[in-house]
Structure 1
Amino acid sequence: MDHFAIRDGELHAEDVPLSRIAEDVGTPVYVYSRATFERHARVFRAGLDGLEKPPHLAFAVKANPNLAVLRLLANEGYGADVVSGGELARALLAGMPAEDIVFSGVGKTGAELVQGLDAGIGQFNIESGEEGRELAAIAASRGQVARCALRVNPDVDAGTHDKISTGKADNKFGVPIGHAPELFAELSALPGIELRGLAVHIGSQLSDLTPLETAFGKLGEMLVRLRSEGHSITHMDLGGGIGVPYRPGERTPSPAEYGAMVARVTKGWGVTLMFEPGRVIAGNAGVLLTRVIRVKRGLNNPFVIVDAAMNDLARPALYGAYHGFTAVRPTGERMTANIVGPICETGDTFATDRETDALVSGDLAIFRTAGAYGATMASSYNSRGFVAEVMVDGSDYAVVADRILPGSIADAERVPDFLT
């Protein structure tokens, strides 16, 4: 459920007509619904009510790192799952407590490890023996102990897009699960590290719980083995990955269904379970509002050319991803068209042969389910600048990220003296 609906013939975000935002802020612009974010955060938490112990919830910052979004989720009791020093800094700036921050990611630099230690974060998810040894040496040299989990790769196919699969043997993430006992023993013996558990994350946008259940089952078997070898295991990080519906009629597991599976699989583990939801919280909480530049005649279908482009919403170009596309003021008339942006790339295509609301030059439309992996993946390709972001709260709204114009980007560049 989201809070974007037609009212009096016009699409609203909560109680704000989208045409008002377009007039005041311009297009393209991301529009987020506070009520939707809060509802999704609470529904996900409620889905885990059946666990043996209260879970630790950390929002996957990469899904939407906007400071307003992070503050909202901090107010809902969420910590942060970060994968870079920049995300760590954002989480702290948004008011997320350091002890509730989990630092994941396969390529943490030495400087980022120091940054996490300086901040006093709650957990590092170690992705290799090399990383674990480096972190141990840094922490010990500073007289600190880093709380850690060892991320394992369970060799489970998540059944999602290859570019967002992270749990197969040939993916770069984690250590092979067969190597985990030996490496866990080695790292546990090092000064500077408190290795307190295991972590797993097999991919994003999962529409079936079976791969997750398989991965968690393997993790449970490893838990039993490690305890039998004398290790203390107090935390198990189960990652994120639950999908959201993008297409009409598409169904994905609910948080309640997910929570029931987790409770069944983890019964008797006796640990604090950790979760890093991202898309399931943010996906349906945002739309990308755009304006039609013109409708161009095509050989087969007309081209609806909008002012949003692949630099604003990259998922269709990267993954062939589907986003619902609807008029802000639908007339009831329909058309079949190709929805494209103005960038000089054929890849700047949002949809082909798509039946949609009839549109003409100047009309407003939205790409739905754009609250996750939307603005966060934006670029300035074709020197277009960065899209603005707005958050709606009932009948009010605020700009939560200014539009960064091409001139501001150029101000950071220099022509060296030897070219003058």
Structure 2
Amino acid sequence: MGQGVLSAAAVGPDFEPGFSSRDGELYCDAVPAGHIAEAVGTPAYVYSAGVVRQQYRRLDAALGGVPHRVHYSVKANSNLAILRLLQAEGAGVDIVSGGELYRAREAGFAGRDIVFSGVGKTARELDEALAEGVLFVNVESEGELVVLDEVARARGMVAPVALRVNPEVMVDSPHHYIRTGEKGHKFGIPYDDVRDAARLTRSLPNVELVGIDMHIGSQLSSFEPYADALERVSALVTQLRADDFDRIRYLDVGGGLGVVYRDEPATDVERYAEGVARAARALDVTLVLEPGRFLVAEAGLLLTKVLYRKRSGGKEYVITDAGMNDLLRPSHYEAFHEIVATRPRGHRVVADVVGPVCESGDFLARNRVVDDARPGDVLGIRTAGAYGFVMASNYNSRPRPAEVLVDGDRYAVVTERERYEDLVRQERAALDWRTA
């Protein structure tokens, strides 16, 4: 993608980034959504570059009074166009796999732009991260510390480490799958074991403890869980410094900032920033954040065409060409996404909006008041910029959708729609048989 797509496009004075209705038609920035559907087909993910920039700049500005680094969580949306856009804004990245490291490098991130997280890193992935010179590795177990030390020794270097702490606080999030900081979760080192893990770093000559990390969950709109976790983690840093771990200079508070899908309270970004900045100042450390959903969710829309209308068992069904393989969140998390027509008919109906996948769990909405859409109409599924395309699959041998970036009054396809040939590209007809 050329650099021209990354710089803000010049548009008229009434233009506002994002999705809005004008003269009875849905727009993304200054481009009619229906036009995009006709030009590139459906299903298609559409992203507003302007919304991503707004979200990043708002968070970055709110933290202006404290040394900080905003590392975008690549797992939320790993499209190279989104990564390059954020790289141009000055963001770093938080990665959780070797594949995400590869994407980050392709987008222009390098070395200290990168933080490596994740509960199950392989020795190969750790080696690749050290070769890249990442800012630090967020280590989640004593076993990982030992492996990282061995990998660093083979490279003749000392690996910078932050220990991911499970602060063991209660979190009120929309679904239990997106809670990560409660007692007994697989993520992080149990709170009472962190000092022992720190002492282990002292016995391993090829690792150095430079930070403490936490991540308590996703889609959090209240600051209270952060406040509880920060109090516990700050006390831990103070204890570690008393134990002569005086090289701790980063406090990584993870991500998790919530966005509005339905009627959730909007995140008070300024209050959040004030709270995490206060903790960083008290500890005299550089603050690291790993926002994902907050930066990209509201920037995304999934366009889908209505294929059929059907009535069964007293229920209305709107059958679309997008299904659970394209957007898994409603089926997997019982997530709500607002569904709007790109050109509303003016009548509403209570219906299930379902896809073509051969599963009863293949739905986008149930018992929802939606536009009385007819075959050929195009619907837009809102707030689909995070955990949408990245969780898409080829279930039922369905090609994954296209992705489109809109910037002002222009748009570009940033991921081509998969073709049938792509579905079998890595498979082999002529088998290379082996024996043990």
TM-score by length of 2: 0.93
Q: 21, 24, 33: which one pairs with 2:39?
A: 24
Q: What residue is the counterpart of 1:355 in the other structure? A: 369
Q: Distance in 1 between matches of 2:348 and 2:380?
A: 16
Q: Deviation per CA, 1:182-220, whole angstroms, max 9, x where unpaired? A: 210221332111211210001111122111111111000
Q: Deviation per CA, 1:99-131, whole angstroms, max 9, x where unpaired? A: 110000010000001110111111100111110
Residues 281-296 of structure 1: pairs in structure 2 closer than 5 A:
281-296=295-310
Q: What residue is the counterpart of 1:80 in the other structure? A: 93
Q: Percent identity, please.
A: 46
Amino acid at match of 1:30: Y
Q: Distance in 1 between matches of 2:280 and 2:151?
A: 34
Which piece of structure 1 moves more, 299-308 or 187-196? 187-196
Contact kept in structure 1, 2:261 and 2:336, CA below 8 Å = yes
Amino acid at match of 1:412: Q
Q: What residue is the counterpart of 1:134 in the other structure? A: 147
Q: Distance in 1 between matches of 2:114 and 2:72?
A: 9
Which sections of structure 2, spanning at least 5 residues, go unmatched? Answer: 1-15
Q: Distance in 2 between matches of 1:254 and 1:305?
A: 37
Q: Deviation per CA, 1:339-373, whole angstroms, max 9, x where unpaired? A: 10010001101111101122111101111000000
Q: What residue is the counterpart of 1:269 in the other structure? A: 283
Q: Distance in 1 between matches of 2:207 and 2:17?
A: 43
Q: What residue is the counterpart of 1:107 in the other structure? A: 120
Amino acid at match of 1:173: F
Contact kept in structure 1, 2:220 and 2:256, CA below 8 Å = yes
Contact kept in structure 2, 1:313 and 1:375, CA below 8 Å = yes
Amino acid at match of 1:64: N
Q: Distance in 1 between matches of 2:283 and 2:426?
A: 52
Q: What residue is the counterpart of 1:8 in the other structure? A: 23
TM-score by length of 1: 0.96
Shift of 1:266: 3.9
Q: Deviation per CA, 1:291-326, whole angstroms, max 9, x where unpaired? A: 100111122321000111100000011110000001
RMSD: 1.5
Which piece of structure 1 moves more, 263-272 or 127-136? 263-272
Contact kept in structure 2, 1:50 and 1:259, CA below 8 Å = no
Amino acid at match of 2:428: R
Q: What residue is the counterpart of 1:156 in the other structure? A: 169
Residues 301-380 of structure 1: pairs in structure 2 closer than 5 A:
301-380=315-394
Which piece of structure 1 moves more, 400-409 or 317-326? 400-409
Residue 353 of structure 1 aligns to a residue whose secondary structure is strand
Q: Distance in 2 between matches of 1:130 and 1:367?
A: 43
Shift of 1:394: 1.1
1:122 partnered with 2:135: yes
Which sections of structure 1, spanning at least 5 residues, go unmatched? Answer: none
1:173 partnered with 2:213: no
Q: 384, 388, 395: which one pairs with 2:409?
A: 395
Contact kept in structure 2, 1:153 and 1:174, CA below 8 Å = yes
The count of residues paired between Structure 1 and Structure 2 equals 416
Residue 125 of structure 1 aligns to a residue whose secondary structure is strand
Q: What residue is the counterpart of 1:34 in the other structure? A: 49
1:183 partnered with 2:182: no
Q: Distance in 2 between matches of 1:410 and 1:94?
A: 27
